[in-house]
Amino acid sequence: MESTNTSDLEPFYAYGAELADIEAVMRLSAVKRWHMLDTSRSQTLAEHSANVAMLAYLIAMKAPAMYFGPATFVGMAALVHDIGEVFSGDTPTPTKNYGTSIRAVIKQLENRLTPEFFKLSCDRYTTLMIKMCDLADGIRFIRLHGIDITSRHAREGLERQLKKCYDDMEPWPPEVRRHVSSHTQFYAYEQS
């Protein structure tokens, strides 16, 4: 999987590797999330990506001392954070967490499938904040639309991941930690 040759990726693309960037945009609304859970409605990758981008943009815009940098760049990075999934599908967390080698292979495949145009690099703090927005959107969706015990189990797993992210922001200035945690908590639970 480490070669730069894209011929092995052709089966993932309907229009070929040279049009993968526009195909990614075309397919964003076709990929369903939560395909292994009973929910009262579907969520697409496009909806999720828009939600994460708007929340990350808002947090970056209001962050003390422009902590995360230009909000427009943060919003765009959040918008494309899962773009590789338009070609690989939404891999459930239990599959990703089965082993570090599985997670690495999935991440490597999604990275190879992502058109270069959409690979936006952020510093580790901005990446962490976008991940927190990603998890908050998952928690919110499952809280509002999850139906059974499987959904509750998925939500609890997302909540554990979000708690770990809160622990990982320890080096941040206290006012930035409060800012990010209050926004992601309110978004996920509609509570201060």
pLDDT digits (tens, 9 = 90+) for 132-154: 999 999 999 999 999 999 999 99
The tokens for 146 are: 């999850």
Q: How many CB atoms lie within 10 A of CB 74?
A: 25
- Does any domain span residue 118? yes
- We report the CATH number of the domain holding residue 23 as 1.10.3210.10
pLDDT at 3: 46
- The DSSP secondary-structure symbol of 10 reads G
pLDDT category at 95 given cuts 50, 70, 90 is confident
Q: Give the residue-averaged pLDDT of 1-28.
A: 82
- Does any domain span residue 71? yes
- Does any domain span residue 84? yes
Count of domains observed in the chain: 1
- Does any domain span residue 49? yes
Half-sphere exposure of 20 (CA within 13 A, CB side): 26
Calculate the average pLDDT of the chain.
92
- Does any domain span residue 74? yes
- Does any domain span residue 144? yes
Question: What does the buried/exposed string (b/e) look like for 14-23 if buried means 16 or more CB atoms within 10 Å of the residue's CB?
Answer: eeebeebeeb
d(C-alpha 164, C-alpha 172), whole Å = 14
Name the residue range of residue 146's domain. 16-189
Model confidence, pTM: 0.92
pLDDT tops 60 at residue 1 = no
- Does any domain span residue 146? yes
d(C-alpha 7, C-alpha 149), whole Å = 42
